[in-house]
Structure 1
């Protein structure tokens, strides 16, 4: 990212975007653009951000799913144009973001950019930027556009209002106990005023691993249930790329320890077993056990 200013003076001329992409090894993306008949859309000489998945990102998609996408031209166009972001000063995008910025795409959906800069509070110690959790691997100037190579293919439905936490839990049976907490507390819809946020969602197996009687006791005590729920939610969108060793404050007022190692990431001693599930109000990480935290702010101050 640091060499963008140097490249900026060389960038504002008519270029062939698809040629530049091919020269940088982004061939699958280009082939699909051609297959979908979107060459003109991607070649318009105007300020745009192009989020270009690597060949490996496409190869990582289940072959049956990829075949479904490539055989449905409308679906393919939907996905590809979601990777074309509308921003009038594309070269300033990363430097302009304090923590998070949501921008519209040519597909008419929204994409979420996050930049993690500062040391501590579980932010990365160097500048790391993501788009819906996908790492921005490198920047390539292309006339008035800028291409960010990313390490995964983005889902156009990721930031739709109905793709929220509650619907995710309802559509995945392995989170029925976590969903039951929301229903017991009569939280049937996530208020828009409390996003962006990061949710560490325990599986049913995580709850069932508790000692006998503990889960029933929690559900019998709404106050403790609130503290438990809020211990699994943090303010701000912390994709896996933005998590690093250190304390992270959660909604309960407590802090949890984040540990990042070659074997994975743990949050409050709970191992993240599936990461970076983008939802409307933030991001979900699935954890294998309940998050353990220190005393809450309320208990530290008044008890």
Structure 2
């Protein structure tokens, strides 16, 4: 029994001293949630997976699979074929830095795409342009994910 406990203690010591033993980036966190399959397929098609695996930190406003289903099918199909436009749209969902939902300040936030998002916060309800945050603070080692109910477009005007 003593050797068994020593073996467990030894294993835990090695695991705790190994950097990022349980590390997950925003891509792995999104995949584990099971809610962002379309977002991840689109990010892969757009060549953004590696960016989202980088050190960051990033705040990702990730549309759910249901949000993508709200788009007309031909729009999604066109986007999957136009990698440049797809990369632009998906980059518009990502801002530099790690911002929890309680840290959201109303106003503009510059995305990695370059255009600003409009953030509002009213009695705990956060909106990003016309999308509502429906689940927040999915933590990753290189950022944070907030689940939104609509795909947001850079050319939407408030």
Q: Shorter-chain TM-score: which interval?
A: 0.7 to 0.9
**Cα distance between partner residues in 1 of 2:26 and 2:103:** 20
**Cα distance between partner residues in 2 of 1:176 and 1:239:** 23
User: Does 1:184 find its partner at 2:45?
Assistant: yes
User: Does 1:224 find its partner at 2:76?
Assistant: no
The residue that corresponds to 2:28 in the other structure is: 167
The residue that corresponds to 1:283 in the other structure is: 144
> 1:263: how far off?
5.3
The residue that corresponds to 1:204 in the other structure is: 65
Query: 1:256–1:292: 8 Å Cα contact kept in structure 2?
Result: no
The higher radius of gyration belongs to: 1
**Cα distance between partner residues in 1 of 2:153 and 2:47:** 24
> 1:187: how far off?
4.3
**Cα distance between partner residues in 1 of 2:145 and 2:131:** 14
Q: Which runs of 5+ in 1 are unaligned?
A: 1-73, 79-106, 111-158, 296-303
TM-score, length-scaled by structure 1:
0.43
The residue that corresponds to 2:110 in the other structure is: 249
Equivalent pairs, count:
142
SS of the equivalent of 1:205 reads helix
> 1:282: how far off?
0.7
Determine which structure has the larger helix proportion and give its number: 2
Q: Which runs of 5+ in 2 are unaligned?
A: 1-7
Name the structure, 1 or 2, with higher relative contact order (CA <8 Å, separation 6+).
2
User: Does 1:266 find its partner at 2:148?
Assistant: no
Alignment CA distance shift 1:188-1:231 (3 Å) = closer
**Cα distance between partner residues in 2 of 1:170 and 1:192:** 16
**Cα distance between partner residues in 2 of 1:210 and 1:164:** 27
The residue that corresponds to 1:52 in the other structure is: none
The residue that corresponds to 2:5 in the other structure is: none
Deviating more after overlay: 184-193 vs 208-217: 184-193
Alignment CA distance shift 1:188-1:256 (3 Å) = closer
SS of the equivalent of 1:265 reads strand
Deviating beyond 3 angstroms after TM superposition, the runs of 4 or more aligned structure 1 residues are: 107-110, 159-162, 186-191, 292-295
**Cα distance between partner residues in 2 of 1:188 and 1:234:** 15
**Cα distance between partner residues in 1 of 2:106 and 2:49:** 33
TM-score, length-scaled by structure 2:
0.78
